[in-house]
Structure 1
Amino acid sequence: MLSASVLEIRHLRTLQALRDSGSLVRAAQLLNLTQSALSHQVKLLEERYGAPLFERKSVPPQFSAVGSRLLQLADAVLPQVEAAERDVARLLQGQGGQLRIAVECHTCFDWLMPAMDAFRARWPEVELDIVSGFHADPVGLLHQGRADVAIVSEVDAGDAAAVDHHPLFAFEIRALLAHGHALLAKAWLAAGDFADQTLITYPVPDDMLDLVRQVLEPAGVRPARRTTELTVAMLQLVASGRGVAALPLWAVQGYLDRGYVAARPIGPQGLRGELHAACLPQVSARPWLQDFVAVTRETSFVTLKGVELL
């Protein structure tokens, strides 16, 4: 007769995270655990069943027969658990609602659309919409009642009391250059390297450009500028030697893999950007908003290369 099961919901989530993220390190980040805590969970299960759950040296993890069977259980059980929790939230707080999303970054749509698709499947009764146009002050739309969530790159201390900021993820911003560019001889670029270049950006205020705000402005560097609305146009200009640009690595990884342009880190530690979901406190209290943040974090972490959860 089998002894009492040691399996818990958290163990099943751990197995899914290992598969979806591809490594112990990333799975721990996805679950907001330390790597040692995650390893302890795995060790507990392996001791209980007397067999390894996956091959330690393989990346991504190759699950054993035992691990695969438990993963099948996780895939069957966890969707039912999550659906039941959403049903309970609907019973307690009512159904329906509207989620209007405003963005301040041109590349946000690359990851926002998959996240919205995943959220829509979980909360079909919530009306999803993107506030049309680019907005230099998306948080202002929250106060005006024109948006429910604003995707922002900075947490404004002045808004801290009136606006909730839910951290999403961090990412590296790389300098993009044409093949054969002289700056490719450097391992990383400093502010002064941009001084005699033409910097191609989106047509937005400088305080919304991480490269300008974090690197160039503090160093007093003001390169020549050129703007374009489209990411693909920016990359085409870079590829043809008309200037340099700086974009999130996840947004241009496909172009780098195909050799369309080249890239270099900005600064010895790299240039880091962040994204947060801002909303008013009364919106934060809605269960579907909390799920939107969770789904967005998980979807982006699994699908975008090189992002780190905040």
Structure 2
Amino acid sequence: MTVLLIKMVYFHKYMKMAHEIIAWKIMLDRHQLEMVRAIDHYGTVTKASEHLCLTQSALSHAIKKLEQRVGVQLWRKSGRTLLLTDAGAHVLQAANKILPQFERFESELEALKQGFVGSLKLGIECYPCFQWLLQVVSPYLSKYQDVDVDIKNEFQFGGMGALFAHEIDLLITPDPLLNRAIEYIPIFDYEQVLVVSNQHAFAELEHILPEQLEDQILFTYPVETTRLDVFNQFLLPAGRTVKQHKTLENTEMILQLVASNRGVAVLPDWLVAKAENKDQIMSLRLGKTGLHKSTFIAVRKGETQSRFVDEFVALAKQQSA
């Protein structure tokens, strides 16, 4: 039988959630939670049954059996779509919190099976941080050969939810969000600078003003404008914008386009200093005083971190950008 939901309390501090389930005087198993999550995600029994590798009739029977067990309706029909009731939404909330714990526990068991004695799951919430991260991961892997390191790129610009769900152990981010449940550990400081070609008209300047970018093509990483410092801390407060905004994921391509005088970019100063074509580009301050930032490692507060997390943080502090 699948490990019962209540037993997960002893693995991760879910006492409050467990008390709510006990109050219903029921016990849900993992497959039932997965069923609730799949139906909510796919919307229909047909699609959910395909995902769960069940027949439609088997899933329909399981739905009825679950509702009989809890004694309350969890879904209502809207055409061919199944929508969660308030009670169903409550179960889904628990499923979204608890299922990642099963998955994490299974991955840890698999790591043990393959000879690893621990695991470290990292999330990155900034594109340029990946290049810095490689400088940290390389010596970390050499020192801790018994640790399975997994970098979660899919959590870029949305990693806080993954951190809360225990899908990652730590999150590397330049944009800390105030939250009592999260601790932010400062790693290194840097300055956001405007990068231009040596042939650009700005090449003789030491700093740039917002209005001077209005006729420029600006290259950035594919991030929401509201989260780009050049917009929310430099251009928009001055009521300015750029002629055209283009996004690219690849740092080398951005730098190559800038070197070819196809536009300008805003990047961390440390990244520009390490660029292969740094002899073809130059950097200017954004404003007279510059735009200064810090990179942090975010961890869940109040929890005992594994030694693998602690050792990684220590090593990250030693490795400046």
TM-score normalized with structure 1 length = 0.61
C-alpha contact (below 8 Å) 1:148/1:283 kept by paired residues: no
Partners of 1:211 and 1:246 within 8 A in 2: yes
Q: Which has the higher contact order (CA 8 A, sep 6+)?
A: 1
1:1-310 correspondence runs (5 A):
96-133=117-154, 135-157=156-178, 159=179, 161-223=180-242, 224-255=244-275, 258-281=278-301, 285-299=305-319, 301=320, 304=321
Q: C-alpha separation between the residues in 2 aligned to 1:205 and 1:110?
A: 21
Q: Distance in 1 between matches of 2:306 and 2:183?
A: 13
Q: Which amino acid aligns with 2:217?
A: T
Q: Distance in 2 between matches of 1:109 and 1:197?
A: 27
Q: Do 2:207 and 2:288's aligned partners in 1 also have CA atoms closer than 8 Å?
A: yes
Query: CA RMSD for the aligned pairs?
Result: 2.1
Q: What secondary structure sits across from 2:156 in the alignment?
A: coil
Deviations 1:183-216 (A, max 9, x none): 2232211222212211111111123322222211
CA displacement 1:25-83 (0-9 Å, x = unmatched): xxxxxxxxxxxxxxxxxxxxxxxxxxxxxxxxxxxxxxxxxxxxxxxxxxxxxxxxxxx
Following TM superposition, by how much is the alpha carbon of 1:149 offset from its aligned partner in structure 2, in angstroms? 0.9
Q: Deviations over 1:212-248 (max 9, x none)?
A: 2221121121212011111111112112222110111
Structure 2: state its 5+ residue gaps: 1-115
**1:173 is matched by which residue type in structure 2?**
Q
Tell me the SS of whatever aligns to 1:268. coil
Q: Partners in 1 of 2:301 and 2:148 — Cα distance?
A: 19
Q: How much does 1:99 deviate?
A: 1.2
Per the TM alignment, residue 283 of structure 1 is displaced from its structure 2 partner at its CA by: 5.3
Alpha-carbon shift at residue 285 of structure 1 (Å)? 3.1
Aligned residues: 205
Alpha-carbon distance in 1 for matches of 2:231, 2:303: 33
Letter in 1 for 2:126: C
- How big is each residue's C-alpha offset from its partner over 1:272-291, in whole Å with a ceiling of 9 and x where there is no partner? 12111112135553333222
Letter matched to residue 292 of structure 1: F
| Deviation (angstroms), 1:257 | 7.0
Structure 1 residues 225 and 219, CA gap change in structure 2 (3 angstroms): same
| Amino acid aligned to 2:169 | D
